[in-house]
């Protein structure tokens, strides 16, 4: 009887132990955000039922949207852990400061973005990845994965431009310019920010073989430099197109952490991804694919030491001026190969 009383008391005080949390989506901005930022937030919230990524994140449930940045920044991390989050705000916003990753640094109206460089002017920044509140000391065992999309920038106009690329191109990682910007210094890894909507080649499908396109990363300089090192030619631009199917974010616990991450939205997460590298000529793209496939055969012949988790296989092929590197199943690849 005493044991039963303790069990009932624990159920009252700690209901989360007995009831699995339900995943949901929240879209949020600050109450005092400038008009351009508020408009960007409103447009994104209004697209929750039609935007491919937002539809996936909401899972057909009601979307919580509002001016929650201050409350979320000061709130219980456990409350935020089980939500997908889309956050729109200026760099000094308390929630933005709490969740900003290490790839971008904002200071006095300038931004340094790794792989792009340092700029001043109206620039927007989008970064995505695993929800940091879920992967914190407050959560013993994540029951699934949740994702976070942050849209910020040097100015309200920059933030609005980044929000526009999220809406019209599905951009989930990248640097966006609104009008003229100035590069303040030259670094070893420099790329120009995105100005117009992303124009993927027509053969890149919205859906194929049960997979749905949910986001695009406008890659920084390092993937292109890697291709230069391995193939002898540097592409004009590289995009990583992320696909999704139900269940890829549903693994529970540490044993599924790597798989959940690779299937997610972070710029380095290469699972269920089609990398599209545009070269100057079809010959360059074809030669790049042949060289990468030759390297793959050499790599496969080496004995795996068992220290690293199994990586998703990468299929390399070309189509016209484009090198395509896919970690999606062969059934998907057959639909886009020539």
125 plus 224 within the same structural domain: no
Rounded to two decimals, the pTM is: 0.91
What is the model's pLDDT at position 205? 97
187 plus 222 within the same structural domain: no
Confidence tier at 20 by pLDDT (50, 70, 90): low
Contact 16, 137 (CB under 8 A): no
- The Cα 148–Cα 76 span in angstroms is 17
Per the domain annotation, does 6 fall within a domain? no
214 plus 175 within the same structural domain: no
What is the model's pLDDT at position 254? 87
Contact 74, 94 (CB under 8 A): yes
What is the model's pLDDT at position 16? 44
Q: What is the mean pLDDT of residues 175-186?
A: 96
- The Cα 273–Cα 241 span in angstroms is 6
Contact 282, 254 (CB under 8 A): no
For tokens 């849209």, the residue is 151
Q: What is the mean pLDDT of residues 310-320?
A: 88
Q: What is the mean pLDDT of residues 227-254?
A: 96
Q: What is the mean pLDDT of residues 208-218?
A: 98
What is the model's pLDDT at position 21? 84
206 plus 189 within the same structural domain: no
Q: What is the CATH number of the domain that holds 63?
A: 3.30.379
Q: How many CA atoms lie less than 13 Å away from 129 in the CB half-sphere? A: 17
Per the domain annotation, does 4 fall within a domain? no
Query: Helices 35-46 & 156-169, crossing angle to 10 degrees?
Result: 20
Domain stops at, among 151, 166, 196: 196
169 plus 214 within the same structural domain: no
Q: What is the mean pLDDT of residues 63-78?
A: 91
Contact 179, 158 (CB under 8 A): no
pLDDT of 207 strictly over 60: yes
221 plus 104 within the same structural domain: no
Domain stops at, among 178, 196, 214: 196
206 plus 159 within the same structural domain: no
Confidence tier at 76 by pLDDT (50, 70, 90): confident
Per the domain annotation, does 10 fall within a domain? no
What is the model's pLDDT at position 304? 53
Structure confidence by residue, pLDDT tens digits, 36-48: 999 999 999 999 9
Confidence tier at 75 by pLDDT (50, 70, 90): confident
What is the model's pLDDT at position 301? 57
What is the chain's mean pLDDT, rounded? 91
Q: What is the mean pLDDT of residues 166-195?
A: 96
171 plus 287 within the same structural domain: no
Per the domain annotation, does 13 fall within a domain? no
- The Cα 105–Cα 112 span in angstroms is 5
Per the domain annotation, does 14 fall within a domain? no
Beta strands in 261-321 (DSSP E): 273-278, 315-319
181 plus 202 within the same structural domain: no
Per the domain annotation, does 90 fall within a domain? yes
What is the model's pLDDT at position 312? 80
Percent of the chain with pLDDT over 90: 83
Residue 108 in tokens? 């006095």
pLDDT of 1 strictly over 50: no
Percent of the chain with pLDDT over 70: 90
What is the model's pLDDT at position 3? 47
Per the domain annotation, does 3 fall within a domain? no
Per the domain annotation, does 237 fall within a domain? yes
Domain stops at, among 141, 176, 196: 196
What is the model's pLDDT at position 15? 44
Residue 59 makes CB contacts below 8 A (sequence gap 6+) with 23, 24, 25
| Domain encompassing residue 153 | 21-196
149 plus 66 within the same structural domain: yes
What is the model's pLDDT at position 303? 53
170 plus 271 within the same structural domain: no
What is the model's pLDDT at position 299? 66
Number of compact structural domains in the chain? 2
pLDDT of 300 strictly over 70: no
3-state SS, residue 262:
helix
Q: What is the mean pLDDT of residues 116-128?
A: 98
Among the ranges given (78-82, 174-178, 285-289), the one the predictor scored with the smallest mean pLDDT: 78-82
Q: What is the mean pLDDT of residues 115-122?
A: 98
pLDDT of 277 strictly over 70: yes
The CB density around residue 113, as the number of other CB atoms within 10 Å, is 21
Handedness of CA 54, 84, 217, 183 (dihedral sign): positive
Higher pLDDT, 312 or 136: 136
Structure confidence by residue, pLDDT tens digits, 47-57: 999 999 999 99
187 plus 209 within the same structural domain: no
């Amino acid at each position: 009887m005493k044991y039963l009383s303790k069990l009932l008391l624990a159920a009252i005080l700690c209901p989360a132990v007995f009831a699995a949390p339900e995943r949901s989506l929240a879209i949020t901005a600050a109450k005092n955000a400038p008009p351009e930022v508020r408009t960007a937030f409103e447009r994104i919230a209004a697209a929750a039922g039609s935007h491919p990524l937002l539809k996936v994140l909401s899972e057909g449930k009601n979307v919580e949207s509002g001016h929650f940045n201050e409350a979320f920044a000061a709130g219980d991390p456990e409350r935020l852990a089980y939500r997908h989050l889309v956050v729109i705000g200026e760099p000094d916003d308390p929630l933005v400061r709490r969740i900003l990753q290490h790839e971008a640094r904002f200071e006095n109206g300038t931004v340094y973005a790794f792989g792009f460089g340092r700029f001043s002017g109206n620039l927007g920044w989008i970064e995505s990845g695993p929800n940091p509140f879920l992967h914190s000391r407050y959560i013993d065992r994540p029951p699934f994965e949740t994702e976070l999309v942050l849209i910020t920038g040097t100015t309200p106009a920059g933030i609005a431009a980044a929000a526009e690329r999220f809406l019209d191109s599905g951009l989930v990682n990248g640097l966006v310019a609104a009008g003229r910007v100035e590069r303040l210094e030259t670094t070893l890894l420099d790329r120009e920010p995105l100005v117009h909507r992303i124009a993927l080649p027509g053969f890149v499908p919205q859906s194929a073989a049960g997979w749905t396109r949910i986001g695009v990363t406008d890659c920084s300089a390092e993937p292109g430099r890697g291709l230069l090192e391995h193939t002898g030619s540097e592409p004009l631009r590289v995009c990583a197109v992320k696909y999704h199917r139900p269940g890829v974010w549903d693994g529970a616990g540490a044993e599924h952490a790597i798989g959940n991450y690779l299937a997610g939205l972070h710029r380095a997460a290469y699972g269920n991804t089609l990398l599209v590298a545009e070269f100057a000529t079809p010959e360059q793209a074809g030669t790049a694919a042949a060289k990468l496939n030759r390297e793959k055969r050499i790599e496969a012949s080496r004995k795996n030491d068992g220290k690293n988790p199994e990586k998703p296989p990468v299929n390399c092929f070309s189509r016209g001026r484009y090198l395509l590197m896919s970690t999606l199943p062969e059934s998907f690849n057959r639909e886009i190969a020539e």
